[in-house]
Structure 1
Amino acid sequence: MKLIVATHNEGKLVEIQSILKADLGSRSETVALVTAGSLGLPDPVETGTSFEENALLKARDVASRTGCPALADDSGLIVDFLGAAPGILSARWSGVHGNDEANLQLLLAQLKDIPDSKRAARFVCAMALVIPASGASSETYEHVEYGIMKGRINHTPVGEHGFGYDPIFVPDDQPGQARAGEKDEKLTSAQMSAQQKNAISHRGQAIRNIVPFIDDKLLK
């Protein structure tokens, strides 16, 4: 069974494959994951006003173009002090889509001199599964699950891993990071290994939350 992941980022495909294998075991081998990018499909214009709307928009677009079940996510950073911004504008906060450094620096400037007590933030991910109508079903199936990673915004970028706001985001959950004599150390997402980050990330949570629905609707 082919499941199209609505992304041009092959890294997302690897993460989804890993979680499917962990949660479904050998049954995950019946799912052939393919990215929209590998099929030459364009990125749809994200006109939604929420993470859920944009995730559904992307999944619906891929499902309609291919006739195959589609999986899509939309995620972003919410900073309480900024009134939930940058939110769905996270990837283009500086005005240029995908300019991670400019987005990060603008956010730091907006939080300049703001104390730790007011730097609470969270990453949110909406994951949408869309299964187009077929001979077996006359109706399109749609379902959305969420994942949230809470933390705070650091005062300076630290770490070389990850992407986006990872160098300035300090997750509340710090899996396996404590070392002898450094129990109070808090790592940014960019200091964590991919395995550590995926274990607590908003996207990882959203994928795990939607796996039972993939299992129920596509594998049974």
Structure 2
Amino acid sequence: MESAHVSAIISAAAGISGVLLGNIFVLIKEWLTKRKTAKQDTTYLGIIVVSHLDRFATGCLNVALDDGTQHGQPAGERGEHVPVITPPNFRPLDLDVEWKLLPMDLMYSILRLPDQQDQLHGNLTGIHQFNYDPPDHIEYFQARRRGYAVLGLQASDLATKLRLYVGLPAEELDPGEWNRDKNMRDIKSDIDERVSEGHLRNTTQQQ
């Protein structure tokens, strides 16, 4: 009788253990499936967003090169410098990706790019309204070109960070190959130097 009781307990314990193990295996399988899906979704996000960031950065370079002339001549009427290149658009929230898969700081930086572009346009509008200086509009074009060079470099840097996070291969340029980011850095440095020289010249004249 006692032996039968022990056997019943062992059988019950074995049944419970079997159920628990079965549940654990199911949970592990579900976890592995979700992990695989999340990795695939993250890789997809990286491919899509990196492509858009790179195109945006290239568009920013095109604006940074725009000094209001065409073929060396003022692009507007009566010798006035006017914008030739239309600024690029980057609308991350229109992309069909799961943003929550990214770390908060990286996601925040990417999603803030349109806000930074809006701030730049607000600054340019202020210069155009309150420091109107035809026909060259030097201050306006310096601010526009520099602002887009900085914005393009930020987009390119975010693309690099996103590639690294999702495991995409880094972009490698051959020596002497055209370098978009170097062009933007050179534009920024050149404008900073000209602005600094202008401030120094004004200070000297006032003295």
| TM-score > 0.5, shorter chain as reference | no
Q: Which one has a bigger Cα radius of gyration?
A: 2
Per the shorter chain, which TM-score range? Answer: under 0.3
Name whichever structure is richer in strand by fraction. Answer: 1
| TM-score, reference length from structure 2 | 0.24
Name whichever structure is richer in helix by fraction. Answer: 2
Q: Which has the higher contact order (CA 8 A, sep 6+)?
A: 2
